[in-house]
Amino acid sequence: MATQRIADILKNGQPDESVTIQGWVRTKRELKNFAFMEVNDGSSMASLQVVLNPQLPNYNDLLKKINTGASVEVTGVLVASQGKGQRIEVQANHLKVYGESDPETYPLQKKRHSFEFLRTIGHLRSRTNTLGAVFRVRNAASNAIHQFFQKKGFLWIHTPLITASDCEGAGELFTVTSLDLKQIPRLDSEEIDFEQDFFGRQAYLTVSGQLEAEVMAMSFKNVYTFGPTFRAENSNTSRHLAEFWMVEPEIAFCDLQGDMDLAEEFLKYIFQYVLENCAEDMEFFNQRIDNTVLATADNIINNDFERITYTEAIALLEKADRKFEFPVEWGADLQSEHERYLAEELFKKPVIVRDYPKGIKAFYMRLNDDDKTVAAMDVLAPKIGEIIGGSQREERLDILEKRIQETEMSPEDLWWYLDLRRYGTVPHAGFGLGFERLVQFMTGMGNIRDVIPFPRTPLSAEF
């Protein structure tokens, strides 16, 4: 008999049905004339209760083997459950133990473990209720992202993980090299001779797929990337990872207004999809992690996002009846406390801030007519601050060249990017969403390390 997912059995299974399940034992309880065990296969928060009778072949030997963490296969018949909190259970008529688990050393016991402890057993932590729920939500959100863009006719493109350009100009890059680190070739100036390296030049792990996405948008109009990006930023905080996933759409023949509209529609779609497809998990987060999770989702889905300029945002922050840790002044970037004040306290819903000073934004953002601001936008959300950052791109060759010079970047390194403005340039725009920040925001999880299966942070890359 083919095996069934426990989630499907719990939802649709009926008494007298024969089923076969495979999974891991969560708990075992022995009584005088029979035993219970809870089996979970990761498909749902809830486990399926299995009743074991002494008539089972090798009953006593099996009981010794089915400790918490053991892997099993059960074939049996569904019956109406007499216990609370479950509709059906399985009366087992065949039980196979694939792998035993030593109860003395198995680190996951039936108690609440701290997330700090669970990070030390990254190979086992996804068997817990919380991390299991996180990764089901992460999966659903990933699926929603693809569905959203595919329905709109966007082309999913795979941008390179190894790149020769620093998209943001921030300098926080991981170098990719095949040089022998014990015998690094150097020039007379003592600088590293990267001409002897694999690519004949210095190469990095990408910080963004945006510039390459712009290349593809100039052929296909609407494209998006969804893949890993890397920042060598030595930040040991609850909001930073060295390896994380980014979603980056790029839309040709589009201005800042269209960019903001797409970002708002995109967020609403993902939240709605996750609420519909992970209702049990989202309810769990609301009960156990953050009791505002469902209200936050509702706030995203059912509100028109407020839209203000950066200049208006500064004026509102200057009028605020509270003191900020970071000073508020025109020309300075908004800090997380400023963003959260606007979204959480002032407007009490998501806010899109646009038209930032050119001095604090990247070279590729379109210069506005005032020559002081660029057509950039950030989506600010309650509880987290910035969740999306985007802009209309500078499509005018002469102005882009001037901006590259102002930011002291090399036009020679960006010759191909400038070519896009020489040959059939069009207004275009796009944005970037840090996927882990989104999952953290959706679930209410306090640390970004707990919303990615294998977090990469400073001094942490175990396997």
Supply 91's token pair.
């009366």
Q: What percent of the chain has pLDDT over 90?
A: 87
Q: Mean pLDDT, the chain, as a whole number?
A: 94
Range 131-140 average pLDDT: 98
Taking Cα atoms as reference points, which of 356, 362, 358 lies closest to residue 380? 356
- Model pLDDT, residue 109: 82
pLDDT tens digits, 192-231: 999 999 999 999 999 999 999 999 999 999 999 999 999 9
Report the pLDDT averaged over residues 367-393. Answer: 95
The string of pLDDT tens digits covering residues 280-309 is: 999 999 999 999 999 999 999 999 999 999
Residues 17-69: pLDDT tens digits?
A: 999 999 999 999 999 889 999 999 999 999 999 999 999 988 999 999 999 99
Where does the pLDDT of residue 409 fall: very low under 50, low under 70, confident under 90, or very high at 90 and above? Answer: confident
Least confident range from 116-130, 274-288, 326-340, 448-462: namely 448-462
d(CA 97, CA 402): 69
- Does 271 score more than 90 pLDDT? yes
Burial track 358-380 (b if 16+ CB lie within 10 A, e otherwise): beebbbbbbbbeeeebbbbbbbb
pLDDT at residue 169 greater than cutoff 60: no
Please say if the pLDDT value at position 167 is more than 80.
Answer: no
Q: pLDDT band at residue 168, thresholds of 50, 70 and 90?
A: low
Residues 262, 352, 390: CA angle, nearest 5 degrees: 55
Per cent of the chain over pLDDT 70 is 98
pTM comes to 0.94
Q: pLDDT value at position 82?
A: 82
Contact residues for 127 (Cβ-Cβ < 8 A; gap 6+): 24, 40, 42, 69, 108
Q: pLDDT value at position 171?
A: 60
Tallying the residues shown for the chain, one arrives at 463
82-134 pLDDT, tens digit each: 877 789 999 999 999 999 999 999 999 877 899 999 999 999 999 999 999 99
Whether 16 has a pLDDT exceeding 60, the answer reads yes
* In the predicted structure, residue 187 carries a pLDDT above the cut 60: yes
Q: Which of 143, 158, 162, 175 is nearest to 227 (CA)?
A: 158
**DSSP-assigned beta bridge partners for residue 283:** none
Using CA atoms, how far residue 54 sits from 62, 65, 83, in Å, is 10, 15, 20
Q: What is the pLDDT of residue 194?
A: 93
Q: Which helix (H) or strand (E) holds 65?
A: helix 59-65
| Nearest one of 334, 283, 271 to 308, comparing CA atoms | 334
pLDDT of residue 1: 66
One DSSP character per residue, 185-230 reads -B-TTSSB-GGGSTTSS-EEE-S-SHHHHHHHHHHHSEEEEEEEEE
Per-residue pLDDT band at 166 (split at 50, 70, 90): low
The pLDDT score that the predictor gives to residue 383 is: 86
> Residue 392 above 90 pLDDT?
yes
DSSP state of 450: G
Contact at 8 Å (CB) between 378 and 389?
A: yes
Please give the average per-residue pLDDT across 126-145, as a whole number: 97
Closest C-alpha among 390, 389, 415 to residue 404: 415
pLDDT at 322 over 90: no
Q: Compute the C-alpha angle 398/210/228, nearest 5°.
A: 160
**Looking at residue 235, what is its pLDDT?**
77
Fill in the DSSP letter of residue 393: B
Model pLDDT for residues 337-357, shown as the tens digit of each residue:
999 999 999 999 999 999 999
Question: How does pLDDT run across 170-186, given as a tens digit for each residue?
Answer: 568 999 999 999 999 99
